[in-house]
Structure 1
Amino acid sequence: MNKNLFSLLGLGTTLVTPAISIYAQQTKSPNFIFILADDIGYGDLSCYGEKTIHTPNVDKLASRGIRFTDAHAVAATSTPSRYSLLTGHYAWRRNDTGIATGDAGMIIRPEQTTIADMFKTCGYTTGAVGKWHLGLGDKARTQDWNGYITPGLSDIGFDYSYIMAATGDRVPCVFVDNQRVVNLDPNDPIQVSYEKPFPGEPLGKDHPELLTTLKPSVNHGHDQAIVNGISRIGYMKGGKQALWKDENIADSITNKAVNFIRDNKDHPFFLYFATNDAHVPRVPHPRFVGKSGMGARGDALLEFDWSVGEIIKTLDKLGLTENTLIVLTSDNGPVVDDGYQDRAVELLGKHRPWGPFRGGKYSIFEAGTRIPFLISWPAKVKSGVSNALVSQVDLFASLSALMGKEIKKGDAPDSKNYLSAFLGETKKGRKYIIEQAGTLSVSTSKWKYIAPGNGPAYNKLTNTELGNSKEPQLYNLKKDRGEKENVASKHAMEIETLKAILEKEKALNPQYVPITH
């Protein structure tokens, strides 16, 4: 065990002698769990003050640790956000980290170092369970869905993986267990395409009568391959026995996460548990249907809370709670109608998934990237609330510091050590953060500058303000957290200061990874 951990655990380094076994040392090391929600916004959890939803298990976790009010994902969409969290590298420094198709090659390349790699070198068993959406295989369209898919998660630091091949609304709709499709019948091989349909396979746009579970919203593009009475993005043939059941996704991945914890209870582990619930298509298990009064999206939030509860219950039962550091957060902000007729808008009522902020998923405004963020480690972290400015990109460097692990040159180049802020020892976080959604923004705890961009200002399909403008934007978040008034014309000095920070960061371009797929 390293000196940093001994200090944090209240132990003196002199306690370690050659007579103490490695096993005895390792039992003192904390376990780590990342619970990464999908499309859950700042206002979707009751611990953030929302009165229209009750998420008691998340609330329990919050009561055991720190709830951050100014925490941010790097991007307002899934793939780039997850990439940055796992690698400590800004996704916007690359040109291939957009929303990944289901047949995308690995976005994180095997030569890159991930946070899982870091834990593994510290003697941890590492696991990834749930939504992946960061590509598989070497290059797009080259995966062997009917054999061993390589490269895969074992090449980027994970000892064990049980993942959704892509994401809920994209084919192939199968689980991949340690890089092999689960329950695959070799006599019914999988074929996947994002270019053209397979002859004889019905599509949602042509056969609405087959859409018995959910129908797509108009012009959203979820009208291609039909799986479980739901049309998806992309084309697929075969693999019928391997297809997941949408209403069982949460149960399946939660069960795998719980089993991983049980299997590794006697030695330190790192678990990356990425849920799918609030992401479309939303098909919560029947035991949650109708429970929220807000339709499928609200019920999915309760399902997510149940998954969190199962993790907490397992840790409590195994006596691991005190010395397990849990990070609970979301990949980006919320979206209500994201492509299916699930009555989410109609039944929303007074619920505000975005909280007091403007925008949502896909948006450079605050609700796109200001996300729920909790850290619980009862052995060392006191319960409370922190308004420190923090970013998910810094988890890599901060937890490396906790482990006493020096980051090699070139690894996690954009991640900085803010361990004291994450552990609640100080409320001073980053001086500024950078976020991505169509354009880039740079924010301090007070000012937010949004760089001019050529993208649309509004997404009619999702009813979301994207924040793009050909003019520079500046908002005083202390006085105007809803970003109602652009004060760029009144504060030229602030504009120049923040613009200079952004340009400096863009010029650095550390560890630019050559595009090979």
Structure 2
Amino acid sequence: MNHSSRRSFLHNAALGSAALFGTPLLRCTSFSRPSSPNVVIIFTDDQGYADVGCYGAGDIDTPHLDRMAGEGVRFTDFYVAQAVCGASRAGLLTGCYPNRIGLLGAPSPQATHGIHADEMTLAELLKQKAYCTAAFGKWHLGHLPPFLPTRNGFDEYLGLPYSNDMWPGHPGRGDSFPPLPLIENEKTIEINPDQSQLTARYTERAVSFIDRHKARPFFLYVAHSMPHVPLFVSNKFKGKSKRGSMAT
């Protein structure tokens, strides 16, 4: 796929995402055109199709997601390029097959590769249109400095650089993983953070980002680690989903 056709793909993907999540058009005088909608993508990890109320979940209450679907567009045929970690994110953010750009599977903490500088991300495309951009949550497109979100179109970032199970607490492979870093922009701010609080922390940062950028079009990418194993749920939500030990 050449850069021209990829830009077209990413442009359409951005508009589709805005429609899906029903994001309001919050505009100021200098950004008054209706062609600059706010774009919000919430990307959950290992969540099943029928784990959301609007797609048939009977024992998990998801009123806020259901409302977003009701106010926007509910897709019934939607696929990721690969159903795993880093590869799915590569496809989502670049519009390319992960195999073509060398981002397969789930890169480990020992990996030295990541998203190539020549690849245009959705964030980089929207920044050309004067969008504010932010990513909160799991990145998994390379943890070395050249591959971080802030080097690939995002103005700010808070999250884990790879999967939350790639940590010393792994029950079978803990010895093979280094301490898990929580990164803000390009600086490690915590080591082995309390994962039961990450969903709330990412959400709070996302809400703050929206509040701080109401006067300009923005692109917000929230990539929650949950419900990828190991499962972490805060005390506030334990037992709410009627799924027993699978409650997240």
Sort the TM-score into its range (normalised by shorter chain).
0.7 to 0.9
TM-score, length-scaled by structure 2: 0.79
Matched, 1:33 2:40: yes
Structure having the higher strand fraction is 1
Question: 1:160 corresponds to which residue?
Answer: 156
CA distance in 2, matches of 1:113, 1:276: 24
Cα deviations across residues 237-288 of structure 1 (Å, max 9, x unaligned)? Answer: xxxxx33101111111111111111111111111111111210110100111
CA distance in 2, matches of 1:106, 1:270: 26
Cα deviations across residues 100-122 of structure 1 (Å, max 9, x unaligned)? Answer: 11233352112211111000010
Question: 2:120 corresponds to which residue?
Answer: 113
CA distance in 1, matches of 2:103, 2:73: 34
Matched, 1:289 2:238: yes
Which amino acid in structure 2 is aligned with residue 276 of structure 1? Answer: S
Q: Secondary structure at the match of 2:220?
A: strand
Q: 1:158 to 1:52 in 2, by over 3 A?
A: same
Structure having the higher helix fraction is 2
Q: 1:76 to 1:150 in 2, by over 3 A?
A: closer
Q: Is the 8 A contact 1:150 1:179 kept in 2?
A: no
Q: Is the 8 A contact 1:126 1:159 kept in 2?
A: yes
TM-score, length-scaled by structure 1: 0.39
Paired positions, count = 211
Q: 1:49 to 1:96 in 2, by over 3 A?
A: closer
Q: Secondary structure at the match of 1:92?
A: coil
Q: Is the 8 A contact 2:123 2:154 kept in 1?
A: yes
Q: 1:254 to 1:105 in 2, by over 3 A?
A: farther
CA distance in 2, matches of 1:94, 1:30: 29
Which amino acid in structure 2 is aligned with residue 24 of structure 1? Answer: T
Matched, 1:102 2:126: no
Which amino acid in structure 1 is aligned with residue 132 of structure 2? Answer: T
Q: 1:151 to 1:81 in 2, by over 3 A?
A: closer
Q: Secondary structure at the match of 1:93?
A: coil
Q: Secondary structure at the match of 2:236?
A: coil
Residue 274 of structure 1 is aligned with which of 209, 217, 223? 223
Which amino acid in structure 2 is aligned with residue 120 of structure 1? Answer: K
Question: 2:192 corresponds to which residue?
Answer: 243
Q: Is the 8 A contact 1:284 1:296 kept in 2?
A: no
Question: 1:351 corresponds to which residue?
Answer: none
Q: Is the 8 A contact 1:130 1:274 kept in 2?
A: yes
Residue 84 of structure 1 is aligned with which of 91, 99, 105? 91
Which amino acid in structure 2 is aligned with residue 162 of structure 1? Answer: L
Which amino acid in structure 2 is aligned with residue 161 of structure 1? Answer: Y
Q: Is the 8 A contact 1:87 1:112 kept in 2?
A: yes
Q: Secondary structure at the match of 2:68?
A: helix
Q: Is the 8 A contact 2:141 2:148 kept in 1?
A: no
Q: Is the 8 A contact 1:103 1:135 kept in 2?
A: no
Question: 2:133 corresponds to which residue?
Answer: 126
Q: Secondary structure at the match of 1:59?
A: helix
Matched, 1:169 2:169: no
CA distance in 1, matches of 2:57, 2:200: 26
CA distance in 2, matches of 1:104, 1:150: 13
Cα deviations across residues 205-261 of structure 1 (Å, max 9, x unaligned)? Answer: xxxxxxxxxxxxxxxxxxxxxxxxxxxxxxxxxxxxx33101111111111111111
Question: 1:261 corresponds to which residue?
Answer: 210
Cα deviations across residues 409-433 of structure 1 (Å, max 9, x unaligned)? Answer: xxxxxxxxxxxxxxxxxxxxxxxxx
Q: Is the 8 A contact 1:27 1:268 kept in 2?
A: no
Segments of structure 1 that go 5 or more residues without pairing to the other structure are: 9-21, 138-148, 184-241, 301-517
Which amino acid in structure 2 is aligned with residue 47 of structure 1? Answer: C
CA RMSD of aligned residues (A): 2.1
Q: Is the 8 A contact 2:90 2:103 kept in 1?
A: no
CA distance in 1, matches of 2:31, 2:51: 37
Question: 2:3 corresponds to which residue?
Answer: none
Which amino acid in structure 2 is aligned with residue 279 of structure 1? Answer: H
Q: 1:87 to 1:124 in 2, by over 3 A?
A: same
Q: Secondary structure at the match of 1:127?
A: strand
Q: Secondary structure at the match of 1:66?
A: coil
Question: 1:42 corresponds to which residue?
Answer: 49
Q: Is the 8 A contact 2:40 2:221 kept in 1?
A: yes
Cα deviations across residues 6-48 of structure 1 (Å, max 9, x unaligned)? Answer: xx9xxxxxxxxxxxxx951314431111111111111111111
Q: 1:63 to 1:151 in 2, by over 3 A?
A: closer
CA distance in 2, matches of 1:261, 1:296: 33
Q: Which runs of 4+ in 1 moved over 4 A?
A: none
CA distance in 2, matches of 1:82, 1:57: 24
Cα deviations across residues 407-456 of structure 1 (Å, max 9, x unaligned)? Answer: xxxxxxxxxxxxxxxxxxxxxxxxxxxxxxxxxxxxxxxxxxxxxxxxxx
Segments of structure 2 that go 5 or more residues without pairing to the other structure are: 1-10, 16-26, 168-178
CA distance in 2, matches of 1:123, 1:169: 36
Q: 1:24 to 1:105 in 2, by over 3 A?
A: farther
Cα deviations across residues 169-198 of structure 1 (Å, max 9, x unaligned)? Answer: 013422111110014xxxxxxxxxxxxxxx
